Structure formats: structure tokens, C-alpha cells
Amino acid sequence: MPGCRCVNCVPIGGSAAVAGWRRRSVARVVGGRSGGLARIAAALAAGALLVAGGLCLALVGAVVGLGGVPGVGGAAAVGGAPAVGGALGGQQLVCGVPVTVGATEYGGPGDPSSGTVGASGVNLLAHPDSFAELGGTTFAAADSLGGLPYGTALAISAGGATIVARKEDIGLGGGPVAGLPRVIDLWWRLAAALGIPYEHGRWAGAVQIALPAADCAGAAPLTSGPRALLLADGLAAAPAGAPAAVRGIIASGNQIVGKPYVYGGGHGVPLDVVAASYDCSSSVAHLLYGGGLLPAGADLTSGDFERWGEPGPGRWVTIYASATHVFMYVAGLRWDTWNAAGPGDGADGIGWHPLVRSAAGFVVRHPPGL
């Protein structure tokens, strides 16, 4: 299960620039090692996570509740800044603007416990340009970069080289690296391609990261408030403080606002392609793909969403599904195929709707971590 694999804090050893402990990847070895949960339990029992009377702390942001509004919660908004990534020691990850952060390496022949399959499920040997976002042992907790969806690209620079790599893993993290927040773990093949000498999973140092400008062209507009905002043109602005997955969902919704409703429309079309028409389930799937929560080949019906994700409402995203219809709230704004709440509920069609509609007869689900 992604996010529940091997996480062991081990001493850094010979790196004088780094104090404290570092994480191992949550990747697992192809062919199967012993379960990560068992190793975590053993490490905790042995006290291996204790450092100078403290713990290796996950970098988890404060959560602000917005009582009773479906699908709203999460970190306090970052007032007005055009941030696309998460907070990095007071800095913001902005499209095309590099940020210097602390990094470590993992994997390779000297670090076999890190395994070769990322938490996203990809084989890291086949995807050598991969990195892990740090901060915790689950997708929700590993949010040192704002909780980037799996597959998110970052331009990573070190020693004059720059490589566009993708998030395929998560990890616990640890203390600062050379005074910088430790936010990213580089798969050893990626580190080598950047000219970083292999130190058997013990290297630590500074790198620069940036969201590639080309990947930000379709980003959702932002609002400084804690809820998504319906704009005059029918598009939605995402809360600046929302997780990256939520901003991706909203951006993907904005792609297809106003598309014709056709029963069965959008099904059989890969989710990374904008279809000519949609129905309720294909449109919801398109949005979830934009948040990195579904693979491009997924094709779910409204009934499938009755079993998708986790039960109950989410902090940011709440899905209401039945055998005949599905809709959802994203940061407090409803995505639906019609203005079911009546006058004042926005345009009569596929898109964002500002009012809360009846949920009678629907199963309530939410994406893990959101």
C-alpha cells in the first residue's frame, strides 16, 4: 500500500554538513521484502527514531477547519502570493523560480533497504529521474513541497546541471541540511546524473528546485481566501494555501467548464486528453486525474465512485456518489453537471456551482489525505 512502506531513520555518518538523522525511501524491493509496517514497529520498539530525546519530526502544516462546509479545510491561505508549490521554510515554490533546499540521496547498491518501487507504484529502475517528497510516512503527511501529486515535475539543479525529474516517492525526512529545510530525496540514479557523487545513500547537500514554467501554463488562478472562488467567467480560483493536488483538480475543472453533457461522454478517452463531451463520472475522473489521484487510463462510473477512496467527507475534497450520479466539492465549491440547487447555483451545465445541494441517497467518499 503506497505510503506504508519501509521508513527507517539511520545515522548520517560522515556528512559534517548535516546534523541529525535521515529518512530511507518508502520504496520497496521488487519481489517483496518484509512489510514496511513491521519494520517501522520494530524500529519504534528499539527506539531507533529517538534522537537527542526527540523524534524525527514530519513537516506537517497546520490545518484550519471551516466547520461544516463540504470539502473545505487545510492550511491557512498564503496571502496573495502566486505560489504553486508549498511552503519551504518561509519561501514559496513559484513557477520557473528556483528555490535552494536541502536534499539527500537514497537507493543504490549501498542502500538496498530503500528498495526499487516508489510509493506511486512505479519501478524506479525504469524511471531513474525520480525523487521523493519528504515530511511523513503517508502521502498526506509528506507535504514538505506542499503535497505534490505523484508524477509532478520539478527542475532540479546541482553543480551546473539541471534535470526535470518527477515525484514518485515519499519519505519521513529529518533535520535541516546545511541550514536549509530538508524537503527532497533524490533517487541515486538522478543524483548521479546531476553529478552528485554516490555515497551509498548518505549524501546530503543543497540543490535548487523549480516548477518548470511550461508546466504552469494551465495552473488555476489563486485566491487568498481559504475557499475556492467562483469567477465571473465560470472558472474557479484555488486557495493559495491549498495542497497542490487540490489546485490541480481545480485547474483541470477549469479546462472543461461548459463542455456539453452527453451520457457516456468522455468514457474511453484517456484522462490526459480533453474530450468533446462529458457526463458526471467522466468529468469527476478528469478532475481527479488533474490532481494526480487517478492514472490516465482510469475509466470510472458513478457507481464505481461509491467505493473509491476513503469513507466520509474530506478536508478539501468530498465526493457524493450513487449508482446514477456523482458530484463533488473541492475547497468548498461544488463540481456538478447541472444547477441542482436551483436559482443562484451558477450555469446550467458541467462546471462549478456555488450552492450546496441535497446529498440524500449518495455515498460520501474522499481522496486519501484530502
- Exposed/middle/buried for residue 208 (C-beta within 10 Å: 0-12, 13-18, 19+): middle
Phi-psi label, residue 164: left if phi above 0, alpha if psi -120 to 50, beta otherwise: beta
Residue 35 has pLDDT above 70, yes or no: no
- For the stretch 192-243, pLDDT in tens is 999 999 999 899 999 999 877 556 656 788 898 899 999 999 999 999 889 8
- For the stretch 180-195, pLDDT in tens is 999 999 999 999 999 9
What do you get for the CA distance between the two ends of the chain, in Å? 17
Can you give the pLDDT at residue 89? 54
- For the stretch 77-88, pLDDT in tens is 222 223 344 446
Can you give the pLDDT at residue 99? 87
Can you give the pLDDT at residue 27? 57
Q: Show the cell assigned to 168.
A: 514518485
Angstrom distance (rounded) from CA 49 to CA 70: 37
Can you give the pLDDT at residue 79? 26
Q: Percentage of the chain surpassing pLDDT 70?
A: 72
Mean pLDDT highest for which of 35-39, 48-52, 111-115? 111-115
Confidence band, pLDDT 50/70/90 cuts, at residue 345: very high
Residue 279 has pLDDT above 80, yes or no: yes
Confidence band, pLDDT 50/70/90 cuts, at residue 132: very high
Angstrom distance (rounded) from CA 113 to CA 31: 13
- For the stretch 134-154, pLDDT in tens is 999 888 888 898 888 888 888
Which domains does the chain possess? 10-213 (2.40.40.10), 222-366 (3.90.1720.10)
How much is the pTM? 0.53
Can you give the pLDDT at residue 26? 57
Element (H, E) at 37: helix 36-46
